[in-house]
Amino acid sequence: MAKTLKTAAAMGLGASLAAAAIGAALGSYLLTGKRATKTKKVLKSWMLKAKGELLEQLEKAGDIGEEMYYQAVDQVAEKYSKMSGVAQSEVDDMTAELKKQWKIVAKGLNKAKKLTK
């Protein structure tokens, strides 16, 4: 029983750290660089929904590797690229930026694993 609770708490912590890392990645994508002035005025609701869906997929997956992370990003990007009112260039930019953030996500996951041991 105690081991089950410890494992559940560790998984929750790992998911939280991954969510924070992905949130930071999406935030840096939206609020830095050339797109910053435009994005700060109007945050696209689809980008926030895409981030939420990505987080859900990663939480359900449990143990996440680089390939699984990239697949989850691609799945979410594919869905949103088919929506009307969403420019393919925006989806491509978001996808590239999220994939670049894998190292940050991996560090968060490694910290969570160390805390659970």
- 3-class SS shares of the chain: helix, strand, coil, % to 5: 85, 0, 15
| Structural domain for 58, as ranges | 2-116
Confidence grade of residue 42 (pLDDT, cut at 50, 70, 90): very low
pLDDT digits (tens, 9 = 90+) for 44-94: 788 888 888 888 887 787 778 889 999 999 999 999 888 877 888 888 988
Could you tell me which residue, 58 or 99, shows the higher pLDDT? Answer: 99
Q: Which amino acid appears at position 81 of this protein?
A: S
Contacts of 58 (CB under 8 A, 6+ apart): 15, 18, 19, 22, 64, 69, 72
**pLDDT over 90 (residue 2):** no
- Tokens coding 6: 């410890």
Q: Looking at residues 13-27, what average pLDDT do you find?
A: 66
Give CA–CA dist 32/101, Å, rounded: 14
The H-or-E segment that residue 83 falls in is none
Question: Which percentage of the chain shows pLDDT scores above 70?
Answer: 58
Q: How far is CA 67 from CA 37, 43, 63, in A?
A: 33, 28, 12
**Domain count along the chain:** 1
